[in-house]
């Protein structure tokens, strides 16, 4: 979990995860939190959002779950550094969690379902472990809905290639628009849907975002680059050119990049 992760746990991905906070990545959930709730954060990554959520529900118990023992170790270090005492982290399988039924008031999953080959089964498992009056909150981006300026053909090609790789992996890059349907298929009966964005338009954020994707697509040890070559979808030369395209965009004074996310709060 995630089981077809084109991002993997390359340092550029962890760099992205460490930028994320409850405020910029889970604002749709925050009004529903209160002290004392018990919360499970699946696909927790290095623990930034998990610790933020733990602060919101303290003294309630919070558990972060990730497939990677290495990432779990990083999350534990994050919690120690921050002094977050009401959180623990475990390695586990989202499809078959070692968690009893009706164990948590809130379950949170950020940018997880887009990497799974069977998101509906995963949501059914989340529904199993949330309490009858609890909430499952999921948020995923939608790659086809991302937009940017100025025009950059190499970013057009990056987006096409990203879809090709994720499709080959059996995953859904445009997960955001499908969350409602997946939640309905999983058996949820009360579902609220909203959307929000990340915007990169100032010089510092442009460079950060451009460098992030330049590394993901251009470094030969990144999962996305490695898979693109292994699947015969791209070449190292093309990937280097796509990385240069990202850095060229980041240097544009008029550069804007907007990432659309869809969010679902599911009950019942």
| 17 Cβ neighbours under 8 A, 6+ residues apart | 45, 46, 48
**pLDDT (0 to 100) of residue 12:** 60
Residue length of the chain: 268
Report pTM.
Answer: 0.93
CA distance 100 to 78: 27
Split the chain (268 residues) into runs of 10 and give each run's mean pLDDT: 52 69 96 98 96 98 96 96 97 96 98 97 98 98 98 98 98 98 98 98 96 96 96 98 98 98 98
Cis peptide before 59 (omega within 30 of 0): yes
**pLDDT (0 to 100) of residue 5:** 47
Range 11-267: architecture per CATH: 3-Layer(aba) Sandwich (3.40)
**pLDDT (0 to 100) of residue 7:** 53
Helix axis angle, 153-168 to 223-230, nearest 10°: 80
**pLDDT (0 to 100) of residue 18:** 75
CA distance 204 to 115: 28
Q: Enumerate the domain spans of the chain.
A: 11-267
The per-residue b/e assignment along 220-248, b for 16 or more CB within 10 angstroms, e otherwise, is eebbbbbbbeeeeebeeebbbbbbebbbb
């Amino acid at each position: 979990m995630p089981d077809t992760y084109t991002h993997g746990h390359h340092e550029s991905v962890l760099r992205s995860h460490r930028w994320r906070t409850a405020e910029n990545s889970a604002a749709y959930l925050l009004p529903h939190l209160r002290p004392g709730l018990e919360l499970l954060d699946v696909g927790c990554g290095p623990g930034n959002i998990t610790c933020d959520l733990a602060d919101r529900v303290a003294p309630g118990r919070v558990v972060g779950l990730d497939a990677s023992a290495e990432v779990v170790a990083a999350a534990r270090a994050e919690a120690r550094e921050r002094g977050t005492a009401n959180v623990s982290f475990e390695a586990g399988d989202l499809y078959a969690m070692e968690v009893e039924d009706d164990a948590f008031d809130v379950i949170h999953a950020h940018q997880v379902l887009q990497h799974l080959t069977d998101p509906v089964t995963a949501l059914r498992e989340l529904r199993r472990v949330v309490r009858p009056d609890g909430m499952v909150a999921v948020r995923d981006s939608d790659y086809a809905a991302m937009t940017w300026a100025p025009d950059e053909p190499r970013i057009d090609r990056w987006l096409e290639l990203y879809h090709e790789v994720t499709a080959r992996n059996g995953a859904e890059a445009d997960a955001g628009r499908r969350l409602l349907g997946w939640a309905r298929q999983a058996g949820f009966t009360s579902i609220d849907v909203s959307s929000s964005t990340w915007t990169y338009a100032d010089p510092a954020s442009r460079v950060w975002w451009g460098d992030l994707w330049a590394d993901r697509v251009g470094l030969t040890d990144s999962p996305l680059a490695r898979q693109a070559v292994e699947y015969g979808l791209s070449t190292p030369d093309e990937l280097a050119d796509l990385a240069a395209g990202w850095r060229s965009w980041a240097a544009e004074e008029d550069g804007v990049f907007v990432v659309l996310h869809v969010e679902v709060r599911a009950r019942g």
